[in-house]
Amino acid sequence: MKYLVTDYIPEEVKDAWQPFHGRLKKLNQTMQDALEWISEDLSYFQTDIDADEEETPESFEEKLSHPLKWLAKKSSEYGKYYSESYCTALVQKGQPVPADLTPFQKRMIICQLGGGNITSILSKLTDQRNAVHLLQNILSLYPGNPIKAKFGQRDIVNYIVAHISLNCLSPQTQKGASLKDLQALCRQFPSDKRKCLPSALFLLTLLFWPEDHDTHHEKETKYEIVQSAIEHLEKGYWTKKKDIPQRKRRIYTHFFLGSGKGLDKFVHKKKFESVTKTFSVSEKRMKWFRGEAWKTPEIAKMLKCVSGWTEDGVVYLEGPQKKKFSVFPLHVPSVPHGNENITFYLGFTFRGPVACNIVVKK
């Protein structure tokens, strides 16, 4: 391990392995970059197939039918390979790891627990076995005061997403960072949005969405942050999309704007399953396709209804004063033909916010 992750080279292999030292020592970073690249692509283009299809036995084909599980498994294996054996043993037994580990060792254990990238963390909301305990362990490996710690963009993203996911699964156990703490952490993202990771831009749209109790000035400031992030998310989306066949371009909605406050306002689609679990797979798909599922009282109660209007086929959000705020409709045919006042639910994607269940105001 010392050879693989530091400059150290044992004398006995110094000359014999001369052609390979560079590549072997870069292997860790190469694997991390590859997993991050796959995670980013899945953040854009995964579909609900993983959640909707009936379980099938694990096989070589799982990487096609269950990409989230495949990535979570590979990320965990990567962390395991680069963790010290005694740390791996502690993790497997569910015991706390020593506090005196190096930042690199902690990062590898975080990967092993499933916290190495945004997709692996969010997959815990779909596969909830032991997820609360794992997320608590992941967060315990970060510094006590992350705002003072020198985090890289990826670390900030993973830390924030782990907090949001834990709050979705078990709000009562979430004693850590508040929405304001996570917003403060976001201010460490580059001020030049072109240098922000897509996942960082996504979190800006999520965390800085205005709340009802905000002052007019606070709302305008937040809308500006969100609109700036969306502008760069859109550019990244079209760059990704140009080589993707039309049938695979569906954008995935990670969260919806809920009726709660603070971190409780982020509703993951998995929460809808308690309402739709009595339906068969085909029945569930048809209810979502026709828009009937949105009208279920339990789902309507979870979500916050926002107001807007349509103009020449474009959906706009009611509220921002300085700049018109257009919202992409999740299903284009649902946009009324005329110019109408409307209400809709808001979803958060890697393209920006989307409008769901568009209804014309009577």
- Is 99 part of any domain? yes
Instruction: Name the least confident of 24-28, 38-42, 83-87.
Output: 83-87
44-48, 147-151, 183-187: segment of lowest average pLDDT: 44-48
Share of the chain above pLDDT 70, in %: 91
Q: Does the pLDDT value for residue 156 go beyond 60?
A: yes
Q: What is the mean pLDDT of the chain?
A: 85
Interhelix angle 67-81/21-45, rounded to 10 degrees, is 150
- Coil/strand/helix, residue 317: strand
358 domain residue, yes or no: no
Is 22 part of any domain?
Answer: yes
Pick the more confident residue, 46 or 26. Answer: 26
Q: Does residue 118 sit within a domain?
A: yes
Give residue 93's pLDDT: 73
Between strands 266-268 and 306-311, the pairing is unpaired
pTM given for the model: 0.88
Establish if 109 belongs to a structural domain.
Answer: yes
Report whether pLDDT(196) > 80.
yes
- One DSSP character per residue, 329-355 reads ESSGGGS-SS--EEEEEEEEEBTEEEE
**Tens of pLDDT, residues 70-109:** 899 999 999 999 987 777 777 767 777 777 788 888 899 9
Question: Has residue 224 been placed in a domain?
Answer: no
Tell me which amino acid residue 91 is: V
The CA-based diameter of the chain, rounded to the nearest angstrom, is 81
Instruction: Look at the chain and report how many structural domains it folds into.
Output: 1
Question: In sequence order, what are the residues at sequence separation of 6 or more whose Cβ sits closer than 8 angstroms to the Cβ of residue 21?
Answer: 9
134 pLDDT above the threshold of 60: yes
**Over residues 153-175, mean pLDDT:** 87
3-state secondary structure of 3: helix
Lowest mean pLDDT: which of 48-62, 102-116, 279-293? 48-62
Q: Is residue 222 part of a domain?
A: no
Question: Does the residue 243 lie in any domain?
Answer: no
Total Cβ atoms within 10 A of residue 56: 10
Task: Determine the structural domain holding residue 34 and report its residue range.
Answer: 1-188
